[in-house]
Homo-oligomer: A and B are copies of this chain.
Amino acid sequence: MAGSSIGKLLVVTNFGESHGPAIGAVLDGVPPGMKLDVNDIQVELDRRKPGTSRHVTQRKESDTVEILSGLYNGVTTGTPIGLLIRNEDQKSKDYSEIANLYRPAHADWTYAQKYGIRDPRGGGRSSARLTAPTVAAGAIAKKWLKDQFNINIQACLIQLGNIELPINDWKEVDQNSFFCADKEIISQLENFMDSLRKSGDSAGGKVFVKAENVPVGIGQPIYDRLDAELAFAFMGLNAVKGVEIGEGIKAARLKGSQNADQMDSKAKDHFLSNHSGGILGGISTGQTVYATVSIKPTPSIRLPLATLNSQMQDTTVSTKGRHDPCVSIRAVPVLEALMALVLMDLILQNHAQTGW
């Protein structure tokens, strides 16, 4: 059963494993005529790549992307864009031990049960490394949305463990190792992460992601709604356990009179508030689309955990290696990419249907 593609008119097909020869994606459906340079993609991959600070995995990967097709003279031709990233840091280490253990909260167990076989090297296909092709494809979608509609997509970390991170200045986000929109809290985050690493444990977090200037009318009412497609994309990202649109779960405590975004002819984008997250009836309102994504702590930790081996015997596992103590941090550029891919797909869909 296939199932490694996302999108309907703009389709990303993802392939690869953590320690195989290469990872990559085919992005099919980009309209012809868009200027595209490999650096437009590399800059996004560099935001996600490992080793950018001591707070993320120390694996050495340049994540250099090669564009294999779909470009001619620096312009998209309308044909599929092949994207290739070679795996460089595939240590020839012995995986025989981990190959026989199921790390709790990890996909080891489910892969082994589903397929009867699994690639144990670096988690195989369940590795967060496989978000790199998504980021590469999303970079192209981001550029197209910016070029065509001036859409700005941005995400930032808003919670790290129990620490809540205020959004004070979006310009700060790319100035620190945490994609944090508040300068003041950075040292607190660094201390938290340092002690987390020392303890051999990991932490969860939350990411806020938004898109400005999304045109009104994007999304299909039943079932291919904008909110549903965003939830599909975001919940499909490794370790995500909660997706909220607009007010999210807080909306469940509001009265209808409190949650209503009243309208006014003089208001920006026609609305006096944006509890809806820019989506009503599954369709964009013309306001900023925003969502909050909750991410569980990294399953691979140094602290010992009770588990089973592949002979179904009781044992313990303590995961050494180069894991992110908090995968939420590097999730930031990935969620931006997913937001871009969903929006571009639905904009193309809407274009096919309307304007006749």
| Interface hits, A99-126 → B, CB 8 Å | 102, 104-107, 109-111, 113-119, 121, 124-126
Contact (A276, B105) CB under 8 Å given A31-B353, A161-B253, A251-B297:
yes
Q: Is A51 an interface residue (CB 8 A)?
A: no
Which residue of B106, B219, B263, B306 contacts A281 across the interface (Cβ within 8 Å)?
B106
| Interface hits, A231-251 → B, CB 8 Å | 231-236, 238, 240-249, 251
- A170 to B247, alpha carbons, bound, how many Å? 30
| Cβ contact within 8 Å between A23 and B260 | no
| Cβ contact within 8 Å between B223 and A72 | no
Stretch at the interface among A42-50, A55-63, A77-85, A179-187: A77-85
| Cβ contact within 8 Å between B301 and A256 | yes
Q: Is A130 an interface residue (CB 8 A)?
A: yes
Contact pattern, A 272-291, Cβ under 8 Å of B = 1, otherwise 0: 10011101111111100000
Give A163's nearest chain B residue, CB to CB.
B253
The interface residues of chain B lying within 8 Å CB-to-CB of A110 are 216-217, 219, 279-285
Which residue of B125, B258, B281, B285 contacts A126 across the interface (Cβ within 8 Å)?
B281
| Interface hits, A1-39 → B, CB 8 Å | 1-17, 20-24, 26, 28-29, 31-34
| Cβ contact within 8 Å between A352 and B9 | yes
Contact (A229, B232) CB under 8 Å given A1-B349, A68-B15:
yes
- A11 to B220, alpha carbons, bound, how many Å? 14
Contact (A242, B236) CB under 8 Å given A2-B9, A79-B17, A350-B1:
no
The interface residues of chain B lying within 8 Å CB-to-CB of A243 are 231, 235, 242-244
CB distance from A55 to the nearest CB of B (A): 15
CB distance from A19 to the nearest CB of B (A): 9
Give A237's nearest chain B residue, CB to CB.
B228
| Cβ contact within 8 Å between B125 and A222 | yes
- A238 to B227, alpha carbons, bound, how many Å? 10
CB distance from A316 to the nearest CB of B (A): 9
The interface residues of chain B lying within 8 Å CB-to-CB of A16 are 68-69, 80, 82
| Cβ contact within 8 Å between B353 and A348 | yes
Q: Is A138 an interface residue (CB 8 A)?
A: no
Q: 14 extra interchain contacts, Cβ-Cβ under 8 A, other than A114-B217, A264-B306, A265-B314?
A: A3-B29, A3-B222, A3-B223, A3-B349, A9-B9, A9-B349, A17-B79, A21-B69, A68-B84, A78-B115, A227-B236, A231-B231, A243-B244, A351-B351
- Please list 12 pairs of residues, one from A and one from B, whose beta carbons are closer than 8 Å in the complex, sorted by A's number: A1-B350, A14-B222, A17-B69, A22-B82, A72-B119, A114-B216, A161-B253, A206-B249, A231-B234, A231-B236, A248-B294, A256-B300
